[in-house]
Amino acid sequence: MKIPHDSAHTHVSGTSEYIDDRAAHFDEVFIGVVFSTEPHAKILSIDSSKLEKHPDFITLFTYKDLSHNKWGSIFQDQPLIAEEIVQFVGEPVVLIASRDRFSVEALKKLVTIKYQPLKPILSIDDAIKANSYIGDERTIQSGDCEAALQKCDHLISGSVVIRGADHFYLESQAAVAYPLEDNQIEIHSSSQHSVEVQHIVAHALGLDSKDVVCIVKRIGGAFGGKESQAAPFAAFASLVAHKLKRPARLILTKDDDMIMTGKRNPFQNEYVAGFNRDGKIVALKVKLRSDGGAYADLSTAIMERAMLHCDNAYFIPNMLIQGRVCKTHFHPHTAFRGFGGPQAVATIEKIIEQIAKHLDKDPLEIRKTNVYQGNNNVTHYGQPVENNVLPELFDKLETDSDYWNRRKIIKAHNSNRKWNEPLLGLSLTAVKFGISFTTRFLNQGNALVLIHRDGTVQVSTGATEMGQGVNTRIAQLVSEALGISILNTRVMPTRTDKNANTSPTAASAGTDLNGSAAVIATNKIKFRLAQVARNLFVTDPALYASKTGGLGTQAEVEVTELPHQTNPNKEVDTFGIEFKNGKVTDSKTKKSISFESLINEAYLNRVSLSDYGFYRVADLGFNKLTGKGQAFLYFTNGTAVNEVSVSPINGEVKILRTDILMDLGRPINKGLDLGQVTGGFIQGAGWVTTENLYYDSKGKLLSHSPSTYKIPNIQDTPREFNVNLLENLGNDKNVRGTKAVGEPPLLLSIGVWTAVNDAISHLPEYEKKYPSIQLPATAEVCLRAIQPDLFKTVGANK
């Protein structure tokens, strides 16, 4: 049965409710954020005298109105509102409360802030020169890299520049806060982490967590951009609501959102690789440097994941990975789909291509020589690669995509093309993406399952629905466990008063954690229901509680509780009672009762029809100090073949064909998973080809709207797009044998970038060297690589 996204019908009918769809109260206040126009400066004065004359102005707020002004998901180093110094263009300085939402922009312009500029750091290179860092340098190593490099047949070295990217979610940062009695606050936030919002709001206002409830119904896209950075805006709305005792709404415009919020971390990576004549990589040394922006946010955790993914799909016996986050004066960069993994995988995939160029071999040969296989199955941080289907993924896609025949055709085209005909490129890349938070305590989830007397079910978890379908998957898991239709199960909005101390919906682990907890809670109820059913099937129906409960003439059914359960895949003893198709049946006697009737009988016997489930990921043991151990529960794997054309006239890149083969274990919902694969890949394709962030000399983002920031449109998608899933029944690590799909497919888009490099490498000037195309490979970047002399001439004419 094909089960659609639970909100598909409300999306297409326009009835899905997002934050700003909530009806405004008659006394609601609308908030504007006045932010810094300087990247690094001392605040000399704030003049708000012109505001007093505007009829819609109510009041303004600064950091002095907060009880606690520091926040941060890892280090509490960032002020919610700037105090004496601003450290990036877009840093909040003043909040304005308006009676009318349409006056907010005008009111913001009436505030004059004078600054004393300080010297900003606006590049990774400048940060290195100034010794400006966030956190210490981290090292993860295996073997003796330096010694191994000395013994290799060949050495290559190089660097790769990887730019950032904007999340470009459709719903901007948004929050509405309602003051309740006795100093309580109810905050509706477009956030991936309801609990972090609750905690930061409580700290900012000087309240206890018990007095703050955060509710997340759905999010209009996030991609990591609302994992941490939604919380300050929720705090702003809550501050105004708390102080004025009126509902308060803060909805950023797209322009302000893009200027104020952090992006995917830019990286500059240097490497030295040693390999043998057959292309086997013996040693790899990589130095990763990222731009964290002005404050820590999640950048140190992002760097750690990058360090853990420098191997990608390849076994390298000797590795030395060093990583450090640079502190600059840009908006603090943050989580983005892949969370450091893409920047590391881009580096090793470029290295593979460069080795192939050096040895005059096809890159696919080098990849298959180095892929994890056989006894070569332990990562540089000491985790075995279990359930390894990477060789199978390579072999199957190599055949299914007709790789070698297409390679011949492309080579012939590039050799015989006219000067104005496009260059063609082909690349088959892989992904091995670790699934789990690398911060161990985040790998937990809880769920509350309620069964009502009509047999319908409500499920509450800490997962936030941002379009990825986590609610649908959780509803399927619960419905299947109870043997009822998914139409009888609803996953409720995320609330911190139902599910406390939850982790963010991130790291592709939303279903893993929350779905597992929901199954555990459901199994506890199911265990009790099976006992009730077993009793009913040996009881005269005339003596059921539904017939006698009001009279109290019969003894109640006594049930025992399910022993503590931690594994959602462990079969629950139901005493031969089967739950299927809305009926509950004794497998021996074939006696049955409808699920709804069983629920009613259980209620009348005072048997609990609700329960709480808690899940913690087992067997994690990564030591952050030594850089060794079990960092992930399992790996999601995939391969992709990308064929591109690059115009020598204007540098335009077109994706001609993409073939993807993913290992997603045993999918809960194949339709949703295919949607995630295609969507993730296309989003990544935008990052590697068109999405370039342009800043002025003061660090202000210039490309802060759809007119200046180029996300993929229909013309940027592959002309031919084939996506298939590999059947993999061997994964038993996760709930129902499924594998996470949120982030891994995006990394397969790196093959578009390597295919661009492959196309350009066919030019005569790259006969003996590999082109060093930065990421993204925009039309301008490609044209500069194809016709460098033209740009010298243009520059001279200026």
pLDDT single digits (tens) 723-774: 999 999 999 999 999 999 999 999 999 999 999 999 999 999 999 899 989 9
Residue 637 lies in a domain: yes
Q: 717 and 764 share a domain?
A: yes
Residue 376 lies in a domain: yes
| pLDDT tens string 665-689 | 999 999 999 999 999 999 999 999 9
Q: 481 and 606 share a domain?
A: yes
| Burial class for 106, CB neighbours closer than 10 Å (0-12, 13-18, 19+) | middle
| Burial class for 582, CB neighbours closer than 10 Å (0-12, 13-18, 19+) | middle
Q: 579 and 682 share a domain?
A: no
HSE of 5, CA atoms in CB hemisphere, 13 A: 19
Confidence band for 795, pLDDT divided at 50, 70 and 90? low
From the list 441, 445, 519, 454, the residue with the least C-alpha distance to 480 is 519
* Percent residues over pLDDT 90 in the chain: 96
Residue 503 lies in a domain: yes
Q: How many CB atoms lie within 10 A of CB 373?
A: 17
Q: 423 and 487 share a domain?
A: no
CA dist 173 and 186 (Å) reads 17
Q: 711 and 610 share a domain?
A: no
- H-type alpha helices, 668-749: 670-689, 744-747
| pLDDT tens string 289-323 | 999 999 999 999 999 999 999 999 999 999 999 99
Please tell me the predicted confidence (pLDDT) of residue 794: 60
Q: Exposure pattern of 535-568 as b/e (b: 16+ CB <10 Å)?
A: bbbeeeeeebbeeebeeeeeeebebeebeebeeb
Q: Of 220, 251, 282, which marks where a domain is finished? A: 251
Rg for the chain, CA atoms, rounded = 28
Q: 418 and 535 share a domain?
A: no
Mean pLDDT of 691-716: 96
Query: How many domains does the chain contain in total?
Result: 3
Residue 161 lies in a domain: no
Residue 150 lies in a domain: no
CA dist 346 and 349 (Å) reads 5
Active-site residue (options: 91, 304, 643, 743)? 743
DSSP assigned state of 536: H
Beta strands in 436-550 (DSSP E): 444-451, 457-461, 489-491, 494-495
719 residue type, one letter: R
Please tell me the predicted confidence (pLDDT) of residue 797: 42
Query: What is the 3-class SS of 35-46, one letter each residue?
Result: ECCCCCEEEEEE
Q: Sheet of 85-86: strands edge to edge?
A: 85-86, 41-47, 112-117
Confidence band for 790, pLDDT divided at 50, 70 and 90? confident
Any idea what the CATH number is for the domain that residue 210 is in?
A: 3.90.1170.50
Q: 279 and 224 share a domain?
A: no
236 residue type, one letter: F
The answer to whether the predicted template modeling score (pTM) of the entire model surpasses 0.85 is yes
Residue 213 lies in a domain: yes
CA dist 731 and 712 (Å) reads 34
Q: How many CB atoms lie within 10 A of CB 350?
A: 24
Q: 39 and 96 share a domain?
A: yes
Tokens 């660097």 identify what position? 159
Any idea what the CATH number is for the domain that residue 666 is in?
A: 3.30.365.10
CA dist 366 and 356 (Å) reads 6
Q: How many CB atoms lie within 10 A of CB 89?
A: 25
Q: 89 and 188 share a domain?
A: yes
Q: Is 561 a catalytic residue?
A: no
Q: Of 564, 583, 616, which marks where a domain is finished? A: 616
CA dist 307 and 311 (Å) reads 9
Enclosing domain of residue 503 = 444-616
Q: Supply 561's token pair.
A: 């509780």
Residue 647 lies in a domain: yes
- Under 8 Å between Cβ of 108 and 34: yes
| pLDDT tens string 90-130 | 999 999 999 999 999 999 999 999 999 999 999 999 999 99
Q: Sheet of 610-616: strands edge to edge?
A: 489-491, 457-461, 444-451, 610-616
| pLDDT tens string 96-105 | 999 999 999 9
Tokens 């003051």 identify what position? 179
- Under 8 Å between Cβ of 41 and 85: yes
Q: Supply 668's token pair.
A: 């809960």
Q: 230 and 88 share a domain?
A: yes
Q: Of 616, 642, 663, which marks where a domain is finished? A: 616
| pLDDT tens string 477-516 | 999 999 999 999 999 999 999 999 999 999 999 999 999 9
Residue 326 lies in a domain: yes
Q: 470 and 526 share a domain?
A: yes
Q: 480 and 561 share a domain?
A: yes
